[in-house]
Amino acid sequence: MRVRTRTAWLLAYLAVLLLPIYWMLNMSLRGNNDIMSRMALYPSHPTFHNYLQILTDPSWYMGYVNSFAYVSINTVICLVVALPAAYAFSRYRFLGDKHLFFWLLTNRMAPAAVFLLPVFQLYSAFGLIDTYIAVALAHTLFNVPLAVWILEGFMSGVPREIDETAFIDGYSLPRFFVTVFIPLIRSGAGVTAFFCFMFSWVELLFARTLTVTNAKPIGAVMTRTVSASGLDWGLLAAAGILTIVPGAVVIYFVRNYIAKGFALGRV
């Protein structure tokens, strides 16, 4: 009886959790007039017109290309910067190390709007507005501290004797770090890449402010559905479903690393 009760509660929880996604999928398979005229639990005459419009209109699908481009750049930059930084915090003690580590986390705690004006003026001066690198670098302000914090937890779990043994065997620090140490914390790197990707993918304030046309993300493109006649609900729902897909794909490929990260790291 207790197992059945838990199963029932779990199914109810999943139903509530998945209801918004199902409803968005339902709307994406219907026309706007059908959506506005009646409420339906499922599309009686499903259509893929909304998806075809997004996938064939450059002004739409380029939003996904732009988002994926700067998110990927941001993830790579965060890992390249955070891996050696986390190793330094994990293995060395220096003056002000704990204060510096806390200062990194305060950048993640601060609202994005606090940094928006100085970042915009700085990028305007260097001509970086409306480029992928502009948004990618802006997102590192929040993702690098998070990446360092997560990776430091994984690295602290690796015994220091491994470092000492490798150095005795003649490994240089760069060779040891790349060939020995990083494979030992690959689960932590996978978890870190996942969080950097997702936080950058869903961030909109910097992505919308620092782009105009060439690098405009899908979140900003979706606001174009607002017109004098109102919202194009079906088109907006289809765009929302396609926006969920990259995150679901990333979760599928790093699911094992995420499980290990929750068990071993600081996640």
176-234 confidence digits (pLDDT tens):
888 888 888 888 888 888 889 988 998 888 888 888 888 888 888 887 666 555 677 88
Look at the chain and count its residues: 267
250 Rama sector, left if φ>0, alpha if ψ -120 to 50, beta otherwise: alpha
pLDDT of residue 109: 77
Q: What angle do CA 111, 146, 256 make, to 5 degrees?
A: 130
Query: For 177, which DSSP code?
Result: I
The model's pLDDT over 34-90, given as tens digits with 9 standing for 90+, comes to: 788 877 788 888 888 889 988 888 888 888 999 999 999 999 999 999 999 999 888
pLDDT of residue 251: 78
More confident residue, 245 or 265: 245
Measure the CA dihedral 52/58/59/65, to 10°: 100
The total of other beta-carbon atoms located within 10 Å of residue 34's CB is 17
Q: What angle do CA 73, 75, 77 make, to 5 degrees?
A: 70
Distance of alpha carbon 253 from alpha carbon 107, whole angstroms: 29
Tokens coding 254: 């790093």
Tokens coding 104: 């990194």
pLDDT of residue 69: 92
pLDDT of residue 111: 80
pLDDT of residue 227: 55
| Average pLDDT taken over every residue of the chain | 83
Query: For 178, which DSSP code?
Result: I
**What confidence category does residue 257 fall into, taking pLDDT thresholds of 50, 70 and 90?**
low
Mean pLDDT of all residues in 6-20: 86
- Does 108 score more than 70 pLDDT? yes
Mean pLDDT of all residues in 137-162: 87
Angle between helices 132-156 and 112-126 (to 10 degrees): 130
Q: 174 vs 82, 119, 162, 166, 170, CA distance in Å?
A: 15, 33, 14, 11, 12
Owner of token pair 């419009």: 53
